[in-house]
Amino acid sequence: MSEILNPFHTVQKQIKDACQRLGLDDGVYEILKQPQQVMTVAVPVKMDDGSVRTFIGYRSLHTNVIGPGKGGIRFHPNVTLDEVMALSMWMTFKCGVVGIPYGGAKGGLAIQPREFSQGELERLSRGFIQALEPVIGPEKDIPAPDVYTNAQVMAWFMDEFSRLKGYYSPGVVTGKPVSIGGSVGRNEATARGCMYAIREAARDVGLPLAGARVAVQGFGNLGTHVCRLLTELGCVIVGVSDSQGGVADPDGLDVAALIRHKEEQGTVASFRPGDPIGSADVLELDCDILIPAALENVLTEQNAGRVKARIVAEGANGPTTIAADNILTANGVTVVPDILASAGGVVVSYFEWVQNFSQFYWTEDEVRERLEQIMVAAYRNIVRLQSQYDVTMRAAAYLVAVERLAEAMRLRGWVGR
C-alpha cells in the first residue's frame, strides 16, 4: 500500500481516528472532514517592468464553531489548494489543543518571493487582501505570518484592509510590527512554545538538556529562535539546514555566528566551520532532539527508520507522514506533534488580538509567562489522555482538540447528543 503523502488525506484520517476513539456522533466527522469555506483568487499585479502578471492564491476556513478562523498566509511556489485546506484543518486542532477560541484557517500564494522586488511584493500583498476582503476580518478570519511572510507583509495586509473598510483595523491580522499594534514576544513565540514543549518532553524521557544535541531542519524564524533558546538551556546545536543546504558539526555550531551568516548570505549552507550537508541529511544526524521546522512530509517511511533522535519536536505543520509516525513510535522515539510543538505562535497571536480589542498592551514578561502556562498545561493534558487511552502523543492531542470541538457542536445544536 502506497504511503499517504497528500496532507489533506492525512489530516482527514487523523480526525476520523479521534472521532472513532471518542465514540462521537457521525456528524462530528462529517463537519470536520473538510473546510466549511474555501476561496480561490487570481491576483493581478503590475510588475516593475510595466507588465501585468496574475498569481493564484487561496484562503481556507475550516470551522468557526468555537470562534473566528485563525491561521497564517504563506508565499511559496509549492502552495496548493489541498495543502492550504489541510493546514487550515491542522490549525483548528492546534487552537483546540491549547484551548484558545479560534477555528483554523490558512492561506497562501503560489509564488517564489525571492523573485520579487519589495515594491512588487507590496502590490501583490495588497492585491491579495483586496481579493480576500469579503471573507476576512477581526471577528471572521484573522491571517498571520507563515512561510516567507513576515511582520512587514502583515503591516501591508492591515493597512490595505483598513483602507478598504475606512477605519483603522489592527485586529484583522496578527504578527504585526509592535509600533502598529503587534505584541511584544510574537516574533519568537512559535520557537518559545516549541522550547517549552521540548523541555517538558525531555523531563519525561529523562533527557538532561545540558549537553543535549539538537538538529534543526528549517532555519527560518522558528529555527533561528529555537536554536538560540535551546542553547540558553545548555543544548548543543549539531546541525541545521535550509532550502539551499545545511551544515553540521558534532562538537556544536556557533549559533550567534550562524544567525548572522544567515542574515548576510541568505542561507546556512556556506557557513564554516562545519561540514556541508544536504537539506534532508540533517534529519538523520546523530542527535538527541530533532526539530523538523520547514515543510510537510519530510519524515517518511523511507527515512524515518534512520532517525537517531530520542525526541522529534514538530516545529513545522505535518512534517511526519502516517507511515513515518508508526516507524518512529515503534522505535521508541517520542514525537511531540505539530499541533502542540508549533502552537506558541497562535497562542501569542491570540494575545495580540485580545490586546488589539482592549487597546491595553502587555509586557514581554507577561506574554512569556502566559505562554508558558498555556503550553505546559496543554502538554500535561495531552500526556494525561495519552496514558488514559494508551495512544501516541499525537493521537492524544487530537483527542483533546476533537473532544472540545464536539462539545461546542453539541451545545450549538450542530450535532446530536
C-alpha span between 294 and 63 (Å, rounded): 25
Please say whether the beta carbons of 228 and 218 come within 8 A.
no
Spatial separation of the C-alpha atoms in residues 25 and 14, rounded to whole Å: 16
Q: Where are the beta strands (DSSP E) in 236-381?
A: 236-242, 245-248, 275-277, 289-292, 311-313, 334-336
Nearest to 147 by CA among 291, 317, 363: 317
Element (H, E) at 267: none
Q: What is the strand order of the sheet 103-109 is part of?
A: 37-46, 52-61, 103-109, 69-75, 141-145
Examine the residue annotation and report whether 106 is marked as an active-site residue of this protein.
Answer: yes
Q: What is the amino acid identity at position 83?
A: E
Query: Is 15 in contact with 33 (CB distance < 8 Å)?
Result: yes
Distance of CA 201 to the CA centre of its chain: 19
CB 59 within 8 A of CB 157: no
Strand, coil or helix: 248: strand
Identify the burial level of 301 via C-beta atoms within 10 angstroms of its C-beta, where 0-12 means exposed, 13-18 middle and 19 or more buried.
Answer: middle
The one catalytic residue among 33, 46, 94, 106: 106
| Residue bearing cell 450542530 | 414
CB-CB neighbours of 412 under 10 Å? 10
CA dihedral 73, 79, 82, 86 (to 10 degrees): -40
Cross-strand bridge partners of residue 336: 313
DSSP state of 183: P
Annotated catalytic sites, by residue?
106
